Structure 1
Amino acid sequence: MDTQQITKEEVEETQKTASDAGKWYIVHTYSGHEDKVSKSLKQRVQTLGFTDKIFDIIVPTRNTIKVSQGKKESVKEKIFPGYILVRMILTDESWLLVRTTPGVTAFIGAGNKPTPISEKEVEAIQKFMKMEEPLYKAAFTVGEAVKITDGPFADFLGTIDSIDETKGKLKVLVSIFGRETPVELDFLQVAKL
């Protein structure tokens, strides 16, 4: 009797080939509902048996540090508010499943036809999401008047000259002895007027 035994490696290879066949599409959602749509879509894929057509759903986010009321707070910020990425094999049924998910407004594409994005674009987005060093989210703008709250220039008033979000630093022009002098300060050392 001649029977074929399927090995674990063959099953994994088949699954890998199936997921490689899918392409990435951008789906527009109501802004602020990305996580809810992602969770709902994942549940619908499982419940309705579309795991062979829809493989991956990503809400592109990035860790940032927000300075609010003098405190640093790590926050996950949406890179593309109102959009999620879906890796899928596009069929009428898979399109309908995604399109009828509550909170989804449309696929991004030409006319009514969804257009896939390149693998390079997805890799760039994923690389950006995984970058280790979080960015500081500045609550300040260049030219804004601020009061220095800490350090040797405490209680001085100044104007923001430049913002470095990667370091969480501001360059503030402070009037000392009648001259504008640039002073580098941490986001936590200044307050808006």
Structure 2
Amino acid sequence: MITVLLVDDQRLVRAGLRMLIEDTTDITVAGEAADGVEAVRRYAELTPDLVIMDLRMPGLDGVAATRQILAAAPHAKVLVLTTFDDDEHLFPALAAGAAGYFVKDTEPTVLLDAIRRTVDGDLLFSPTLLRRLVTRALESHPTETPTPAPEFTARELDVLRLVAEGHGNQAIAEHLHLGVSTVKTHIANLLEKTDTENRIRLAIYASRM
């Protein structure tokens, strides 16, 4: 069972997330916090598998709370869930050690999938943010080229193109008329074949191809 700490200064948001999570069979809410100070304290008490962290909160904000949690527990996993999708909020959160970044209009199924995959060690972002990170990486290192491409199946190439466009697993499944579990298998195979450690690196690889 995956345990989650919900951190948001809006009680209604926390209640909505709790309802969503408690409708699953493999994720449970270990506790809640209404600000960054409480988040740091509750994490130390509960040591959940994942923290869902808002950014704009009174007192200690989400970036500072993320930094403090990871300073005390380097293996902690923090998934940012915020209304802000601009670079001013994205990059400080990543620098603080966030393992993923999603905006609050994310589809519920996508968020639940992100919780599971973040706990498994993946780095995950909303599609628009992923595209922005890939664009920044390509602009920063425009001359880099991928190593000689391994042998991909036709379906793997289809998936790879959609990864390059920033689509998540659910969207890829809908585009290609596949099951989400099949898409996950293709992604795992692509990560292995391209020797990339996460979705961001795979998207950059695919874009350079």
User: TM class by shorter-chain length?
Assistant: under 0.3
Q: Quick check: which has more Rg, 1 or 2?
A: 1
Q: Greater RCO between the two (CA within 8 Å, min separation 6)?
A: 1
> Scaled by the length of structure 2, what TM-score is found?
0.21
